[in-house]
Amino acid sequence: MTNVPEVFGSMVFNQKVMQDRLPKETYKALKKTFNDGTPLELDVANVVAHAMKEWAIENGATHYAHWFQPLTGVTAEKHDSFINAQEDGSVIMTFSGKELVKGEPDASSFPSGGTRATFEARGYTVWDPTSYPFIKEHTLCIPTAFCSYTGEALDKKTPLLRSMEVLDEQAKRILKLFGKEVSRVATTVGSEQEYFIVDEKLYFERKDLRMAGRTLFGAKPSKGQEMDDQYFAALKPRIVKYMEDLNETLWKYGILAKTEHNEVAPAQHEMAPIFSTTNLAVDQNQLTMEVMKKVARRHGLVCLLHEKPFAGLNGSGKHNNWSMSTNTGENLLEPGKNPADNAQFLLFLTAIIKAVDEYQDLLRISVASAGNDHRLGANEAPPAIISVYLGDELYAVLESIKDGKPMTKGAAGKMTIGVDMLPSIPKDSTDRNRTSPFAFTGNKFEFRSVGSSLSIAGPNTALDAIVAYTLKQFADELEGAKDFDKALAELIKREVTAHWRIVFNGNGYDSSWIGEAEKRGLLNLKNTPEAMAHYLDQKNIKLYTEMGVYTEVEMQSHYDIKLEKYCQVLNIEVQTMLEMIYKDILPATFNYINALSQTAINLKTVVPNAKISSETILLSKLDELSNALLEKAKELEKIHASVKGTSDIMERAKGYADKVMTAMADARAIADEIEPILGEGFKPYPCYEDLLFRI
């Protein structure tokens, strides 16, 4: 039986450990850095580094690594031991403040979008002291930002920290208008993580799972998720053992793993943590994905984090629950108990609605990937069209403000925001809308479009930046107002009216919503190239550069990197698909044709009058399908070669989206028609039934 309080955070150099091991003044200075974001002085860093090294060694560490998040989307680390050679041939274990605060890994082989040449290898990692170091295996891992020699951000952490800082600055300006002085406003995130678990042996028999992370072929099984008997069902014994191990490992890292359950699709599950400050939540989610995979292998299982590993079944997302809180504990997205707090809540809510409407493209871009393109708009994933869900009561409140009419129904209390008497806003006044990409759920927004394998750094950087930019506009207007209450009411009414199109409480799966969204002027960016075509729009460059979140050079590099990765992913999938057709599917089909033919010949020899009609029909069908599959494979090769040779990165990405993926789907359709006809002993790889139900 795990003693959770004793285990929790045991591998983390957290504030409790710091307080126990650091001198009082050092701890005080470090805590100020945590709480207020003040720089860490080198003399303080030296004391912290020594204490950190002693603690790490006591817990079995021999090395340290600056743990960072390059633009690959996964984490990176270079390990250095604590040993330092002495003249007598012995060694001592040392770790300095300089080594803690700054590192110099090779930057040339990470994606940079052309901001770094191969011969320009220098890059720097800089400790993020607001995120706790932790011990992984034998290594002390220090969360860091990663930048180039010339100062450009080469990672996902640096822009995130920048966006958090500008939101802090602008939110405090708004709060000051309401007479509130706070030292810090931070965004918080709780990221629900969906994933699939399959048997390790079966996984290694599928080239597509190994190379692409998803099944490129697979006929629909006789049973999928249509019975709704997987969702919240009792866990299978192997899954119980896995989750027990996973939880204990995550708890050791101080990760607040709270909820676990079966998801809708067979073999699909979910883990949800408690909220953390955004940069800490980002770090912990990256570590969570790594731990999920490692723990699974310990149990003879494999964790699949691809957004759509199985066609026709639910995909996996990462529901990003986002909110804003002050250092005094006030949640700025929680309706208040008095008129002033409700007016403040409505102003922040209006800013978010305006931000999402004006920068719907940036939010869609932040979740764009080859994998997520398969997921969005199907099987409980939200559509690619960005909209805001508010729930009936809050919708009615804003509609009343927009139309200038008081609400007739309502709660006991009343609030005044300067125009009409309105009901107080009750907490938890919204239902959940699983079809909405951006839904208000009582005291937070749930950004449901994030893909399961994606870093949540990008989506939260975009969210923080667009909301900060809007708050800045509101603060600029209201700070100079002679009559604050009147100006506030006019601003809320004006902006709610101007951005009402983004508010949608209906069913995002309904086909009529596509037409309705188009009438409203909302974007329907169905795939990554369509989304990325808007990334370098002037309004987006203006926002990010003015807020200091990205430079224009960094934006250009991200544009190139994201499109290049999209093309690379699809290139791998095409090559894997062709290999499976030529090396697995067609040979298996020919073997079965041969076996059937021999059976027919043998039967006719023994029973001359035998009709052998069933064998003939099946042989004819298999011959027809195998020839068709070969033709589709040749067609796919030809189309792929043409698209792959396109020099312009956007045109190449569009070619993959519009032409290559269509050709892939055509080839798959025929292969998936062959699969159910083959005899059990002739299957070229484990089928969906094996993968989904043999756990």
pLDDT score of 41: 84
pLDDT score of 148: 79
499: Cα separation from own chain's centroid:
27
pLDDT score of 423: 44
Which of 25-34, 168-177, 230-239, 677-686 has the least mean pLDDT?
Answer: 25-34
Residue 419 pLDDT greater than 90, yes or no: no
Residue 337 pLDDT greater than 80, yes or no: no
Q: What is the mean pLDDT of residues 251-261?
A: 94
Q: What is the mean pLDDT of residues 403-411?
A: 66
Name the percent of the chain lying above pLDDT 70.
92
Mean per-residue pLDDT over the chain, rounded: 91
Q: What is the mean pLDDT of residues 62-87?
A: 91
Q: What is the mean pLDDT of residues 149-163?
A: 88
Residue 2 pLDDT greater than 90, yes or no: no
Reported as a pLDDT band with limits 50, 70 and 90, residue 254 is very high
222: Cα separation from own chain's centroid:
31
Q: Are 47 and 100 in contact (CB under 8 A)?
A: no
pLDDT score of 73: 83
Report the C-alpha gap between 343 and 157 in whole angstroms: 34
More confident residue, 589 or 337: 589
Predicted TM-score (pTM) of the model is 0.92
Residues in Cβ contact with 518 at an 8 Å cutoff, skipping those fewer than 6 apart: 524
600: Cα separation from own chain's centroid:
54
Report the C-alpha gap between 233 and 323 in whole angstroms: 31
**What is the tens place of the pLDDT at every residue in 192-222?**
999 999 999 999 999 999 999 999 999 999 8
Reported as a pLDDT band with limits 50, 70 and 90, residue 106 is low
Residue 401 pLDDT greater than 70, yes or no: yes
Which of 2-16, 33-47, 209-223 has the least mean pLDDT?
Answer: 33-47
**What is the tens place of the pLDDT at every residue in 566-614?**
999 999 999 999 999 999 999 999 999 999 999 999 988 998 888 888 8
Q: What is the mean pLDDT of residues 457-484?
A: 97
Please name which of 272, 205, 576, 688 lies closest in space to residue 444, comparing C-alpha atoms.
272
Report the C-alpha gap between 257 and 321 in whole angstroms: 15
pLDDT score of 198: 98
pLDDT score of 107: 58
Report the C-alpha gap between 277 and 669 in whole angstroms: 45
Report the C-alpha gap between 634 and 431 in whole angstroms: 51
Reported as a pLDDT band with limits 50, 70 and 90, residue 415 is very low
242: Cα separation from own chain's centroid:
22
